[in-house]
Amino acid sequence: MLNKYPMWKNLLVIVIIAVGAFYAVPNLFGEDHAVQVVGTRGTAVTPATETQVEQLLASKGIKIKRSELENGQLLVRVNNAEDQLLAKEAIASTLGENFSVALNLAPATPAWLEKLGANPMKLGLDLRGGVHFLMEVDMSEAIRKMEDAKVADFRSQLREQSIRYAGAKATPKGIEVRFRDAETLAKAEQYLKTHSNNEMEFTDTTDGDNFVLLATMSEHYLRQIKEDALTQNITTIRNRVNELGVAEPVVQRQGAERIIVELPGVQDTARAKEILGATASIEFHMVDQKTDLAAAKAGRIPAGSEVYKRREGGEVVLYKDVMLTGDHITGAQPSFDQYSRPQVSINLDAKGGSIFSDVTKDNIGKPMATLFIEYKDSGERNPDGSVKMNKVEEVISVATIQARLGRNFVITGLTHGEAQNLALLLRAGALIAPVSIVEERTIGPSLGAENIQNGLQAMIWGMVVVLLFMMVYYRAFGVIANLALTANLVMVVGVMSMIPGAVLTLPGIAGMVLTVGMAVDGNVLINERIREELRAGRSIQQAIHEGYGNAFSTIADANITTFITALILFAVGTGAIKGFAVTLMIGIATSMFTAIVGTRAIVNALWGGKRLKKLSI
């Protein structure tokens, strides 16, 4: 029988539209002003912290709508933006440096909808607001680290050539290598200069009985170090943003030493600040068992060793030579040992595994230390205006090497929070130089609210004009087209809410307005085809059947070509352009479904298989 859908197809149409509507519903509930509290460096946010915050805000006369303690972070919802700012200041001053306190906007979606996976769609920075960071790279530290690496290289090269030297160290003037006689100095200078690739400039000096070879970095090499530091830090920060799961972030350079990070629609601003600004890394050193700790603390320490503090208290003497750094780590996952103590499971690349295997093979039965390095903002400025960073080094574990280690091993001695953060940072990569957040702005949605209002007005007026035209010009079929058009918009919002990486931007709203026009275009083609068939003398049932069949190829061709264009925009575009492309692709898919399948289901249900003398079209 012509124009009859089987029951399963009608049910499928109803289910698809119902699912889209269900996931679109959370967008009706809006957002709450909130303050987010997260522990830093592994400090836990406990129920006692929640109680302390609630009592504090009550004493300040700030009414709490709801507080939620989940996944080690506290979210306190308040009534308005004024209470939000007051609450943030009060909480930050009371809890101190061990907690990160940030402003947030939390979805007001009912809990039962959240449990079913229904959440509002994410809005871009131009609509919802978000967080903006201006980060500064400490170039002096990047240069210092490279100087330390050069010192290690010089020592290794001179030992390989059996050239005896009295000492090698980095100084404010450059790298000094001391020799006992001028002949040895000349031999070392000739060899090092040949193998420096024009990166270093060498000069000879004397210091008492010592002959000193002073190596300084060339201007070209210094520029290369700074450029590499900025480029690698941008890559690392992008990786960290990806670990945070932020959709459509902006990570770009500003000038020679700064990086801009914008996280639109971010839900976890405190976590973002902690992870993006963190500069934690690890190094593995062998313990110097030959040096007496008391003598070392008194200043009598060999040139190749150094005293470090242990996290659990006390000190330990380590060799300065680094066995392995975090640069060779390819994977890191937090886990627990057999006694439920936090640990980080480490995977190394092939080169790192080979290095670690060789070093541990030669040191079985000897203690090895894991050195945890972190740079913190001191709150002071250097003479050049850059942020002064304090380097904090702690030995988090000392373990005896029981057997030859390969590409997989574990790090212990961490709290649960530190294990989580260290694993994330090691997966994303270590920063080649520490960064400091010199500017932080939580961008409010005031401008975004105006953009949303203007965009909605454009969409509503466009919809009204289209709906009136379709209803007047195509009568009953126009009403059906209007139902499909409404269902199409609901489904676009629902699909945008379902896709984790989809973000609605201002150009995205333009894409939705464009979708309205494209969706009604399909119905116009179908209705005109049906009219043509009726004028050609076809029966009503045949006209409906042929009208949908003949219009399908035209609609498909037009939409597929537009979809390919949107796909190319998504592939090569960035930021707002991607947002437009995503909205357009979703709109094309849903408009084809509602215009062809959805309206056909309604038409079949109303007129399919019936003997009709007249059709309202």
* pLDDT tens-digit readout, 117-149: 888 887 777 777 777 888 888 888 888 888 888
Residue 443's pLDDT is 64
Q: Extract the tokens encoding 94.
A: 């009371």
Interatomic CA distance for residues 397 and 419, integer angstroms: 13
Using pLDDT thresholds of 50, 70 and 90, give the confidence band for residue 80.
Answer: confident
Interatomic CA distance for residues 86 and 552, integer angstroms: 59
Using pLDDT thresholds of 50, 70 and 90, give the confidence band for residue 275.
Answer: low
- Are 505 and 523 in contact by the 8 Å Cβ rule? The answer is no
Residue 543, number of CB atoms within 10 A of its CB: 23
Residue 39's pLDDT is 73
- Please state the rounded mean pLDDT for residues 430-445: 72
Residue 22's pLDDT is 94
Torsion of CA 539, 543, 546, 552, to 10 degrees: -170
- Please state the rounded mean pLDDT for residues 162-172: 87
Question: Does the predicted model carry a pTM greater than 0.75?
Answer: no
pLDDT over 80 at 456, yes or no? no
Residue 447's pLDDT is 59
33: which strand partners? Answer: 78, 105
Interatomic CA distance for residues 86 and 566, integer angstroms: 45
Domain 33-107 sits in CATH 3.30.70.260: yes
pLDDT over 80 at 603, yes or no? yes
Strand order across the beta sheet in which 305-310 lies: 315-319, 305-310, 387-400, 367-381, 281-286, 324-325
**What are the angstrom distances between the C-alpha of 429 and each of 50, 232, 325, 375, 424?**
33, 9, 11, 15, 9
Residue 429's pLDDT is 58
Q: Extract the tokens encoding 540.
A: 């009503």
pLDDT digits (tens, 9 = 90+) for 169-193: 888 888 999 998 888 989 998 888 8
Residue 574's pLDDT is 65
What does the domain layout of the chain look like in residue ranges? 7-25+448-607, 33-107, 140-221, 280-413+423-439
- Please state the rounded mean pLDDT for residues 155-167: 87
Domain 7-25+448-607 sits in CATH 2.40.30.40: no
Rg (CA), the chain: 33
Q: What letter would DSSP give residue 218?
A: -
Residue 427's pLDDT is 63
- Are 122 and 247 in contact by the 8 Å Cβ rule? The answer is yes
pLDDT over 70 at 385, yes or no? no
> What architecture (CATH level 2) is domain 280-413+423-439?
2-Layer Sandwich (3.30)
Residue 340, exposed/middle/buried by CB under 10 A (0-12, 13-18, 19+)?
Answer: exposed
Which of 405 and 244 is assigned the larger pLDDT?
A: 405
Mean pLDDT (the chain) is 82
- Please state the rounded mean pLDDT for residues 39-63: 83
Interatomic CA distance for residues 429 and 427, integer angstroms: 6
